[in-house]
Amino acid sequence: MKLIFLGPPGAGKGTLAAKAVDILKIPHISTGNIFRAAIAAESPLGLKVKAILDSGKLVDDGTTIDLVKERLAQADAQKGYILDGFPRTIPQAEALGTFSTVDRVVNFDIPDSGVVDRLGGRRVCRKCGHNFHIIFDKPKTEGVCDHCGGEVYTREDDRPVAIQKRLEVYRAQTAPLIEFYRNKGLLLDVDARPAVDEVVANFRKVLAV
């Protein structure tokens, strides 16, 4: 199954994707995780995008589209994938349509107030990208990832000024994708406000998996 996870930053797309990987046995492809890994590795791509990510703005469409096109051509993505954080603009969605056929777009719906609480408390593993939360889902040992032992840190773009910028960018550039995919008959809405287990149950229900 070829899936897109749509929704504002902090809707829980990454957390849900980690659960959905176990259910559907398809890879989770997060453009944000790919960019953060490039930054950690100080690769040419990482050096190019670091300041953009820290500010909460979007990386240019050309760079992002090339990256996803290359990733979707790999063997593990042939039977399906979960795209998390891509597409984020109409040109990205149009480009995706030229090199892959998406089966469903899951729209994780949550108001801005819920997003700010979640992102402000979010902590992320620098090594494997797993998400934690200082209230709802703490690592067993502070600062250490339960899954890989990596360092758990606060993303630069989870600080208040960048959160506001990311919400602004989401409303202006990404939210129009909801109607874009609804018009194609691909959109499924999932209420992202409840706790993770309930969101997972709703996700399974709407997708019948």
Residues 157-196 interacting with ligand AMP (rule: CB under 6 A): 157, 166
Q: Where are the alpha helices (DSSP H) in 121-195?
A: 160-169, 176-183
Residue nearest to ligand AMP (CB): 32
Supply the Cα-derived Rg of the chain in whole angstroms.
Answer: 16
Catalytic site residue 182? no
Based on the residue annotation, tell me whether 36 is a catalytic residue of this protein. no
Q: Does 12 participate in binding ligand AMP (rule CB under 6 A)?
A: no
Catalytic residue list contains 140:
no
Backbone angles phi, psi at 28, to 5 degrees: -95, 115
32 lines the binding site for ligand AMP (CB under 6 A): yes
> Contacting ligand AMP (CB under 6 A), which of 85, 133, 177, 187?
85
Among 3, 26, 45, 53, binds ligand AMP (CB under 6 A): 53
Beta bridge partners of 125: 152
Crossing angle for the helix pair 90-99 and 61-72, to the nearest 10 degrees: 30
Decide if residue 59 touches ligand AMP (CB under 6 A). yes
Closest CA to 30 of 56, 42, 12: 12
Which position among 36, 88, 118, 123 bears the catalytic label?
88
Three-state DSSP state, 6: strand
Residue pair 89/58 in contact (Cβ under 8 Å)? The answer is yes
131 binds ligand AMP (CB under 6 A): no
Structure tokens at 197: 């287990």
Options 85-93, 101-109, 140-148, 187-195: segment touching ligand AMP (CB under 6 A): 85-93
Under the binding rule (CB under 6 A), the answer on residue 123 touching ligand AMP is no
3-class DSSP state of 44: helix
Verify whether residue 122 is a known catalytic residue: yes
Q: Which residues are catalytic?
A: 13, 88, 122, 155, 166
- Where on the chain is the footprint of ligand AMP (CB under 6 A)? 9, 31-32, 35, 52-53, 56-59, 64, 85-86, 88, 92, 157, 166
